[in-house]
Amino acid sequence: MSILINKDTRLVVQGITGRDGGFHAAKMEEYGTNVVAGTSPGKGGQHALGIPVFNSVADAVNQEGANTSVIFVPAPFVKDAIMEAADSGVSLIICITEGVPTLDVVEAKRYADLKGVSLIGPNCPGLISPGKSLVGIMPGNIFKEGSTGVISRSGTLTYEVVHNLTIGGIGQSTAIGVGGDPVVGLYYLELLKMFENDPETDSIVLIGEIGGDAEEQAAQYIKDHVTKPVAAFIAGVTAPPGKRMGHAGAIISSGTGTAKEKTDAFAKAGVPVASEPAQIPDLLRTRR
């Protein structure tokens, strides 16, 4: 089984006629994702990669039964793209675009919440349920169908950890990159709950990094609510205070958000923390 996406996912690509949207639409379709439509205002009635293009997401929902949207439009247009998708009838929106103004995300996320639509991202690699569906920019060839759920703030670390899981014979149920911006959609707590309730996910890997207190909150949630084995990795152990490390949300401020604080929080919750990604498979095996 998987969470959020599966073989029934019917995807609309917002920005399919752009360079990135077109490139990744082809990759997603090649993987086996059911890409049923694309949108590009003013280009309705055309086709891209043999996929019908519509002027709006609502048209894609009404005419092709799209239930999930992925966004590749430029950052200044992302707020409107998310709100349009939330209005259309899809149940899940994945925003890949980076550099989106934080206040735009605050407004768009609030609107999606009011509409009851789940948002992943922005500034994220998307998600994949191996063997079923890929929505985003993840390299499908490194993933293996299985029963370990993966949640990550970092795209590239996701790939490194998953590669180690796969070569170690541990497949994944769903892997999700939540994004590294200060404000994003679905995050650790919501996704941990989904994996806990998924009968075919038997273990979870959580990949965090310095900055904020999301990992500390996740550790407490795991302690209180998660019965499945969890292993973690925290990036940024050597980061100096006040220095941003790649992601806008990855900054230590006023002595909080350090790797040590996060590692200690996981230790109190009984979650082992790897010192390097290659250790994750062995940590999971000792917990199963």
Residue 189 sits in a domain whose CATH number is 3.40.50.261
Report the domain count for the chain: 2
Does one domain contain both 167 and 71? no
Q: Residues with Cβ < 8 Å from 145, sequence gap 6 or more?
A: 130, 131, 132, 171, 172
Share of the chain above pLDDT 70, in %: 92
**Residue 168 covered by a domain:** yes
SS3 190: helix
Specify the length of the chain in residues.
288
Could you tell me which of 57, 65, 64 has the C-alpha nearest to residue 14?
57
- State how far the Cα of 282 lies from the Cα of 240, in Å rounded to an integer: 30
The whole-chain average pLDDT of the chain stands at 93
In a domain, residue 133? The reply is no
CATH number at residue 71: 3.40.50.720
In a domain, 169, yes or no: yes
For residue 267, give its domain range: 139-287
Report the distance separating Cα 12 and Cα 34, nearest Å.
Answer: 9
Nearest to 144 by CA among 161, 117, 165, 160: 165
Residue 169 sits in the same domain as residue 111: no
One of 24, 47, 163, 247 is an active-site residue; which one? Answer: 247
Annotated catalytic residue 247: yes
Final residue in a domain of this structure, among 120, 149, 164: 120
255 and 207 both lie in a single domain: yes
Asked whether residue 128 is assigned to any structural domain, the reply reads no
pLDDT tens profile 68-86: 999 999 999 999 999 999 9
Q: Which of 19, 61, 17 is nearest to 43 (CA)?
A: 17
Cβ atoms 194, 151 nearer than 8 A = no
* pLDDT over threshold 90, residue 240: no
Q: pLDDT tens digit string along 118-154?
A: 999 999 999 999 999 999 999 999 999 999 999 999 8
